[in-house]
């Protein structure tokens, strides 16, 4: 399951990159706007006030959010909600104020900050107070409808989404899988009229900010003309597609062997309910059906951790040592005093792993309920990747304290996790020997079923939304367009004909939750590009999928140089500082998975591929 683990301040940056001065300064700015034509000096003053007010509002909001996440009760929930609402309301107002400077001639740095502020909203509220309130109400209702969703069977037994997700991961009965798949999609049809209304209101707000529609607002966040961003994503996807097609062909053939070709036709997209995931976005849960015949020797990291006396703190200390081995300074003492490493016995907490930057300076923390497993050992390295990124850009102006684009933060965490290879595990003494290369096909298959299977899904979710926001896809075609895109990009189809009133996009949280999704596509591409570049800098001579940058000060210096830039430069410049090229390049994926691609091509001989 893909999980977003950004810091609270980074999430704030992504939501609304600017909350300005105090109320008197706001009034002064508004009076200046009314009294005379706006100047470059006015813009700078506005931004200074904005960053000052953002900081004053975001720190207590972050502290309250931390208290709620680590001590859940009615009071902590109320305080956190109140402070977050104060912050987000003001952030929304300031994004609109930034739009007043759209036509003022300013220097490049000022323009970048104004654009970041103006582009920061996900849904821009209209100026009309009643419409703005209605937009907030619709967002809340859609979120709530998803959160309360469940499926009740004919016998009266009801299943939550979590229970259905767990069943889809392990169940291999076609009829039950189809029942679950259809059952969950009963929650979304009532969302459709609300979603239509929300699109209309959000587009009105976007136009007031100077955007053509909400699609242009979302696509305008990426340091390039909005109309060029979609084609750039497609260019990158087309680099991955031959490998994805080979993986798809093999998986479909194996599913056909298991379920029968009457259930899985070998010349059509794969039925979406059979891939081990409610949304068919990752396929790792069906590894047992598609794995190579050769038995894979997997290092038992969980056993090694327990045998060598690793507790939760020692696991985190070892992850920190990965970064200090690259030349980064150790984490501050407050990290060890304030983080949540274990699930407390005396209270409810949110256990979902996340990395926090409370004060945009040195108050870094992670929040986990660490299990002593190899999987959690990887997750800890990923989370600390966020923390070290946060600290690297702490000296930037406040509006630049965030990842170069919204895909970079997740990509950095995953890049670090790619270095948790057998080579690294042997160097730190968790395993005695590195398995030989005959083991690699199985390992690469596991990684590809999650990471590569996800890539086209990560692309098409926002492709659908951009078409909806722009009006290219009208409400009566919402569902039709959704499945057309899923078939085009993923080669996945609805297992049964969908009813006329279906709203299957609403069955994926990020749609009713209004969470932009392109960041996940970017992260899945960039992590391999970062990893390959860092391995080259580290001088690793072996296959890139076996490389670990652990211990390379050269790789650490190159990584830190990019991290320190934060959002101060276009993401293309941040990318070029590490890789030498300002362009995303998915050929790093092909290099990483080269042995698996050769295996798949061999397996697919004589099969009918494509759909």
Contact 135, 205 (CB under 8 A): yes
Segment 106-135, tens digit of pLDDT:
999 999 999 999 888 899 989 898 998 899
Phi-psi region of 443 (alpha: psi -120 to 50; beta: other; left: phi over 0): alpha
Instruction: Give residues with Cβ within 8 angstroms of 502, minimum separation 6.
Output: 185, 188, 189, 479
Instruction: Report the alpha-carbon distance of residue 485 to residue 503 in Å, rounded.
Output: 14
Q: Percent of the chain beyond pLDDT 90?
A: 81
Please indicate whether residue 34 or residue 312 has the higher confidence score (pLDDT).
312
pTM of the model: 0.91
Taking residue 522's Cβ as centre, other Cβ atoms within 10 Å add up to 22
Instruction: Report the alpha-carbon distance of residue 538 to residue 541 in Å, rounded.
Output: 9
CA distances from 444 to 247, 356, 392, 414, 522 (A): 11, 31, 32, 15, 20
* pLDDT-based confidence at residue 11 (cuts at 50, 70, 90): very low
Segment 36-55, tens digit of pLDDT:
799 999 999 999 999 999 89
* pLDDT-based confidence at residue 7 (cuts at 50, 70, 90): very low
pLDDT-wise least confident of 167-181, 292-306, 499-513:
292-306
89: which 2 tokens? Answer: 């309301």
The mean pLDDT value of the chain amounts to 91
41: which 2 tokens? Answer: 């000096």
* Bridge partner list, 259: none
**Termini Cα distance of the chain:** 26
Instruction: Report the alpha-carbon distance of residue 187 to residue 149 in Å, rounded.
Output: 6
For residue 18, pLDDT beyond 50: no
Tell how strand 150-152 and strand 158-160 pair up. Answer: antiparallel
For residue 349, pLDDT beyond 70: yes
Please tell me what DSSP assigns to residue 339: -
Segment 570-592, tens digit of pLDDT:
999 999 999 999 999 999 999 99
Taking residue 468's Cβ as centre, other Cβ atoms within 10 Å add up to 25
Contact 79, 68 (CB under 8 A): yes
pLDDT value for 13: 35
Q: Contacts by 147-155 with C-beta closer than 8 Å and gap 24+?
A: 149/184, 149/187, 150/187, 151/180, 151/183, 151/184, 151/186, 151/187, 153/179, 153/183
Instruction: Report the alpha-carbon distance of residue 309 to residue 321 in Å, rounded.
Output: 17
Contact 416, 547 (CB under 8 A): no
pLDDT value for 436: 85
Instruction: Report the alpha-carbon distance of residue 416 to residue 104 in Å, rounded.
Output: 42
* pLDDT-based confidence at residue 33 (cuts at 50, 70, 90): very low
Q: Please name the residue that has the structure tokens 């009229």.
A: 193
Taking residue 579's Cβ as centre, other Cβ atoms within 10 Å add up to 22
Tell how strand 492-493 and strand 270-271 pair up. Answer: parallel
* pLDDT-based confidence at residue 88 (cuts at 50, 70, 90): confident
pLDDT value for 199: 97
Instruction: Report the alpha-carbon distance of residue 114 to residue 121 in Å, rounded.
Output: 13
Segment 379-424, tens digit of pLDDT:
999 999 999 999 999 999 999 999 999 999 999 999 999 999 999 9
Q: Determine the average pLDDT of the residues in 141-167.
A: 92
Q: What is the biggest distance separating any 2 CA atoms in the chain, rounded to whole angstroms? A: 77
pLDDT value for 435: 87
* Bridge partner list, 366: 355
Segment 213-246, tens digit of pLDDT:
999 999 999 999 999 999 999 999 999 999 999 9
Instruction: Report the alpha-carbon distance of residue 281 to residue 290 in Å, rounded.
Output: 16
Q: Percent of the chain beyond pLDDT 70?
A: 94
Instruction: Report the alpha-carbon distance of residue 311 to residue 268 in Å, rounded.
Output: 49
Would the CA dihedral through 336, 339, 342, 344 be positive or negative? Answer: positive
Domain boundaries, the chain: 8-124, 232-611
CA distances from 297 to 377, 446, 465 (A): 19, 13, 43
For residue 354, pLDDT beyond 60: yes
pLDDT value for 140: 86
pLDDT value for 4: 35
Would the CA dihedral through 339, 342, 344, 349 be positive or negative? Answer: positive
pLDDT value for 14: 35
Taking residue 23's Cβ as centre, other Cβ atoms within 10 Å add up to 9
Q: Determine the average pLDDT of the residues in 291-303.
A: 86
pLDDT-wise least confident of 25-39, 105-119, 510-524:
25-39
pLDDT value for 439: 84
Report the chain's C-alpha Rg in angstroms.
24
Q: Determine the average pLDDT of the residues in 469-476.
A: 97
27: which 2 tokens? Answer: 């009034």
For residue 32, pLDDT beyond 50: no
Residue of 567, 465, 456 whose CA lies nearest to 222: 567
């Amino acid at each position: 399951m893909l999980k977003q683990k950004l810091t609270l301040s980074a999430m704030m940056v992504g939501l609304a990159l600017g909350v300005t001065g105090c109320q008197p300064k706001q009034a002064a700015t508004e009076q200046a706007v009314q009294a005379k034509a706006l100047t470059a000096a006015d813009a700078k003053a506005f931004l200074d006030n904005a960053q000052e007010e953002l900081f004053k509002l975001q720190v207590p909001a972050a502290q309250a959010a931390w208290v709620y996440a680590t001590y859940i009760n009615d009071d902590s929930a109320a305080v956190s909600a109140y402070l977050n609402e104060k912050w987000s309301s003001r952030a929304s107002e300031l994004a609109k104020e930034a739009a007043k400077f759209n036509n003022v001639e300013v220097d490049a740095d000022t323009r970048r900050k104004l654009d970041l502020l103006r582009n920061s909203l996900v849904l821009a509220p209209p100026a009309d107070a009643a419409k703005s309130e209605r937009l907030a109400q619709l967002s809340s209702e859609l979120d709530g409808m998803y959160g309360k969703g469940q499926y009740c069977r004919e016998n009266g037994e009801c299943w939550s989404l979590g229970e259905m997700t767990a069943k889809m991961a392990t169940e291999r009965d076609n009829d039950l899988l189809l029942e679950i798949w259809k059952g969950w999609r009963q929650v979304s049809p009532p969302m459709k009229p609300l979603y239509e209304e929300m699109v209309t209101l959000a587009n009105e707000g976007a136009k007031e900010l100077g955007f053509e529609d909400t699609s242009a607002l979302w696509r305008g966040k990426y340091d390039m003309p909005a109309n060029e961003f979609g084609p750039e994503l497609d260019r990158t996807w087309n680099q991955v597609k031959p490998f994805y097609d080979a993986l798809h062909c093999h998986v479909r053939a194996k599913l056909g062997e298991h379920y029968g070709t009457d259930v899985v036709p070998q010349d059509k997209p794969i039925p979406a309910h059979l891939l081990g995931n409610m949304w068919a976005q990752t396929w790792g849960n069906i590894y047992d059906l598609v794995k190579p015949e050769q038995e894979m020797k997997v290092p038992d990291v969980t056993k090694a951790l327990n045998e060598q006396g690793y507790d939760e703190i020692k696991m985190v200390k070892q992850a920190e040592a990965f970064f200090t081995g690259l030349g980064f300074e150790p984490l501050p003492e407050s990290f060890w005093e304030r983080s949540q490493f274990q699930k407390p016995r005396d209270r409810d907490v949110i256990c979902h792993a996340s990395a926090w930057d409370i004060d945009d300076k040195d108050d870094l923390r992670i929040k986990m309920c660490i299990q002593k497993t190899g999987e959690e050992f990887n997750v800890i390295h990923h989370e600390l990747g966020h923390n070290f990124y946060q600290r690297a850009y702490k000296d930037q102006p406040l509006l630049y304290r965030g990842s170069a684009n919204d895909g970079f933060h997740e990509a950095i965490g995953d890049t670090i996790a790619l270095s948790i290879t057998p080579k690294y595990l042997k160097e730190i003494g968790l395993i005695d020997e590195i398995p030989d290369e005959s083991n690699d096909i199985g390992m690469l298959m596991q990684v590809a079923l999650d990471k590569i299977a996800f890539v086209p899904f990560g692309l098409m979710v926002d492709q659908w939304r951009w078409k909806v926001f722009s009006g290219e896809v009208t409400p009566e075609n919402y569902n039709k367009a959704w499945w057309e895109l899923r078939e085009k990009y993923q080669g996945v189809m609805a297992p049964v004909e969908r009813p006329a009133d279906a709203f299957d996009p609403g069955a994926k949280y990020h749609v009713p939750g209004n969470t932009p999704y392109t960041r996940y596509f970017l992260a899945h591409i960039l992590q391999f590009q970062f990893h390959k570049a860092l391995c080259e800098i580290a001088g690793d001579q072996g296959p890139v999928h076996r490389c670990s940058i652990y211990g390379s000060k050269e790789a650490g210096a190159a990584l830190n140089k990019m991290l320190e830039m934060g959002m101060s430069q276009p993401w293309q410049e941040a990318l070029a500082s590490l890789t030498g090229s300002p362009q995303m390049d998915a050929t790093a994926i092909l290099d990483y998975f080269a042995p698996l691609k050769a295996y798949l091509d061999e397996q697919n001989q004589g099969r009918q591929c494509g759909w």
